[in-house]
Amino acid sequence: MATKKLAFVVRSLPYKTEASRLALTHAISSQTVEIYLNDGDLVEASVSYVSDGVFNVLKNQQGGKYYGITTNEGHAKNTLLLDLRVLICKEDLDKFGLTEGNIVIDAEEIGGDTKANIVPYSEILKEMETADHLLFC
């Protein structure tokens, strides 16, 4: 029995490329990974938003209206619904003038209990240091 920690570090803008969306969908897929593993083994994913990546958690995204696709906001909420550990870099939010009010911090409306954590970059570094593998997207 073992658990491997994967840290997805989202640093790309949403919609410009698919990278940040894929980070979120891959992290979410950690929920079904057991079908490939031995009993008791787990892969645990966390998601950290840094640099331009913090724009992925902006509220009121209009991906459906303009592109006919799901929003990264929706995926961000799903990570919280699934109780993934979510970290958002405080310095980068400050840099772009974003506050807790502008971003997805919980997923209460879809039944999620877990909240995202706005943390200094030093905390995100700690998350990366404790992960078995890092995935920059």
Sign, CA dihedral 45-48-53-56, equals: positive
Beta bridge partners of 3: 42
Does residue 52 touch another protein according to CB under 8 A? Answer: no
Separation between Cα atoms, residue 115 and residue 20, nearest integer Å: 20
Does residue 83 touch another protein according to CB under 8 A? Answer: no
Compute how many residues bind another protein; rule: CB under 8 A. 27
Residues 18-47 that bind another protein (CB under 8 A): 18-19, 22, 25-26, 29-33, 35-37, 41, 43, 45
At residue 50, what are phi and psi to the nearest 5 degrees?
-135, 165
Task: Dig out the tokens for 99 from the structure.
Answer: 């506050």
Q: Which residues here bind another protein, judged by CB under 8 A?
A: 2, 4, 6, 12, 17-19, 22, 25-26, 29-33, 35-37, 41, 43, 45, 132-137
